[in-house]
Amino acid sequence: MSTMVQAIRMALHVGESRLGVTDIFGEDVGPPLGGVFTATQGLKTAWSTPLDERGIVGAAMGLALAGQRPVCEIQFCDYAFNTIDLLKLAGAMNWSSNGAWNLPMVLMTPVGSGIHGSLYHSHSFDATATHIPGWKIVMPSTPLDAYGLMLSAIRDPNPVMFLAPKALLRQKSAAGEEIPGEPEERALAKKIDAPLGDLFIPIGEAKTVRRGRDVTCVAYGRMVAVCKKAADELAQENIEVEVIDLRSLFPYDWKALKESISRTNRVLFVNEDTEVTNFGEHLIRRTIDELFYELHAPPKLLAGANTPGVGLADNLETVSVPQKAGILRTLRDLANHQA
C-alpha cells in the first residue's frame, strides 16, 4: 500500500504520461533526489530550479500561458509568502481576460506542523491561500485522495494549489483505499508505474469519514485523522460525532456541510492554521448566516495559536496546534450543550 508521497509521485507520472504535463520543477525536484520528500523521484519531466520561489511561480505562469501544462513545487509553504503578488496575478488571469486566457498550472507545497520543523518549516498556508481569489485549493488527508485530487488538479484548465500535509506524507493507505493498479509494496520505493485506472476526485467534493447524529466535526489534512480518533472515543460515551473531510478549501462543499449541520445542530471546525482570520471563521460566519435557527449550540473553531511560528520542542509544537484532548473536550461540551 502506497504512502501519500508515493501516491503523489504516481499521480504526477500519470500526469506526464497521459494528461499532458510538460514540466515538473522546483528546488531539488530533479534527479537524483526528487525533492525533499522524493515526490518527484524518477519523473521524466522533472527538473531543478534555482532557490527562487518567485522565479518558480513566474516560470510556471509563463509556461502555462504559452500552452504548456506545468506542475511547480515550493519546497515548503513557509517560503511561499514572498510570492503572494504573483499568486494574485495567476488567480486573476482568467477573470481579468474575461475568460480568454486559461492558466493550467498546479502549485504543490507541503504544509503544516508535525515534523518538528520549527519556525521555517511548520507554517500552514490554507488561510492565506483562501484569501487569493481565482485559485482552486485542495488538501488531501489520505494517499488515495492525494492521488485523485492531484489528477483533477492537473486536468483543471486554471490554477490549482495542492497543499500536502507534511506530517502525512509517509502515511500509508488504509485497507480498502489502495490506488487502482498500484505496484506491490516493495516495488513502490524503487519504481513508478502508471496505475491501471484513472481516479479523478472532483475538486469541491467533501467526504464523510464517520457518520454521526450529535455533532458535526469539519476538518481537512492532518486534522481529519485526529478528529476521527476523538469521535471514535466519544462513541464509548454514546456521543456520535459526524466527521467530514473537506478535501477542497475552494470551492468547498457547502451542500454537504449544510446537510450535516442541519441534522446534528452542532458543529466544530478544526484546522492547524492560526486562529485569527482563519478559514474556519469564514465557515462559522456562513453557518450563522444560513443555519442560525438550526443550531442548538454556538459553532466552535479549534485552530492554531496566533503565534509567529511553531516551536521546535515537542511541548511547544503540541500547544501550537489542536490536539486530540482539546478536540475531545470541545466536542463533548458541544454535545452536552442545552439549547
Per-residue model confidence as pLDDT tens digits over 242-254: 999 999 999 999 9
pLDDT of residue 191: 63
Active-site hit among 121, 131, 282, 337: 121
Per-residue model confidence as pLDDT tens digits over 64-85: 999 999 999 999 999 999 999 9
pTM of the complete model: 0.94
Strand partners, 106: 71, 160
Q: Which residue has the higher pLDDT, 181 or 10?
A: 10
Cis peptide before 143 (omega within 30 of 0): no
pLDDT of residue 198: 77
pLDDT of residue 193: 64
pLDDT of residue 78: 92
Residue 121 annotated to the active site:
yes
**Predicted confidence (pLDDT) at residue 158 exceeds the cutoff of 90:** yes
- Mention every residue, 6+ apart, whose C-beta is less than 8 A from residue 231: 210, 212, 217, 240, 241, 242, 243, 331
pLDDT of residue 310: 83
H, E, C per residue of the chain? CCEHHHHHHHHHHHHHHHCCCCEEEECCCCCCCCCCCCCCCCCCCEEECCCCHHHHHHHHHHHHHCCCCEEEECCCHHHCHHHHHHHHHHHHHHHHCCCCCCCCCEEEEEECCCCCCHHHCCCCCHHHHHCCCCCEEECCCCHHHHHHHHHHHHHCCCCEEEEEEHHHCCCECCCCCCCCCCCCHHHHCCCCCCCCCCCCCCCCCCEEEECCCCEEEEECCCHHHHHHHHHHHHHHHCCCEEEEECCEEECCCHHHHHHHHHHHCCEEEEEEEECCCCHHHHHHHHHHHHHHHHCCCCCEEEEECCCCCCCCCHHHHHHHCCCHHHHHHHHHHHHHCCC
Determine the average pLDDT of the residues in 303-313: 85
**Predicted confidence (pLDDT) at residue 181 exceeds the cutoff of 80:** no
pLDDT of residue 54: 97
pLDDT of residue 137: 98
**Predicted confidence (pLDDT) at residue 139 exceeds the cutoff of 80:** yes
Cα–Cα distances (Å) from 54 to 79, 98, 249, 277, in that order, read: 10, 26, 24, 25
pLDDT of residue 183: 77
Dihedral, CA atoms, 263, 265, 268, 269, nearest 10 degrees?
Answer: 60
Q: How confident is the model at residue 176 (pLDDT cuts 50, 70, 90)?
A: confident
Find the range with the poorest average confidence among 115-124, 178-187, 188-197: 188-197
